[in-house]
Amino acid sequence: MTDAIENKSQQRPETAFRVFLDDWRRHRPSGIRVMWALSVYRFGRFAAKRQVWLFRKVLGFIYTTIQPTSALLGGLYLERSTKVGEEPHFMHGGNIQINPGSVIGNRVGIMHGVTLGTGPHRENQQRITPVIGDDCFLGCNCSILGGVTIGDRSVVSANSLVISDVPPDSVAIGVPAKVVPKTLFGATK
């Protein structure tokens, strides 16, 4: 798998403009608000990675100035310290709250009203924010709280509250969410 990633980077360098175009193709035409918030997030990540102290401070100041406005106008609260994988898809911007400590995998679809945040955690638990695996889908108004892990290719249905881990290839439904294998819904592996 690492060879495939290395070959991809050799074939097509990921420039900021190319990433912006990919985001635009994925979110148009209804995602203009989300595009604004996602662009500000990417700018913040760019600013934080600058080696020269003065550039990092100036760009960081610009980011901290425009980020609250982008969260308000874009309907997506996404701090630059959040780890987001490749090709995220925020389907409908509106009240999407993502805790800065959360980790979002590759090709994750997130609907409006989703909350990824801290929540009830046990004493021996190291992490207090969610980790979302690759190729997952988070339905409208679902909340994923605490140090839970959503496994790869899993679905969290609309209006669900997830406070425990969801294994790969599963569907989480309800309040609190109960896990059901995807095979019960006719999906194939």
Catalytic site positions: 121
Cβ-Cβ contacts under 8 Å for 60 (sequence gap 6 or more): 44, 47, 48
Cβ-Cβ contacts under 8 Å for 87 (sequence gap 6 or more): 22, 26, 106, 107
By the 8 A CB rule, do 168 and 141 touch? no
Tell me how far the alpha carbon of residue 99 is from its chain's centroid. Answer: 10
Q: Which residue has tokens 């679809």?
A: 109
To 10 degrees, what angle do helices 53-74 and 32-48 make? 160
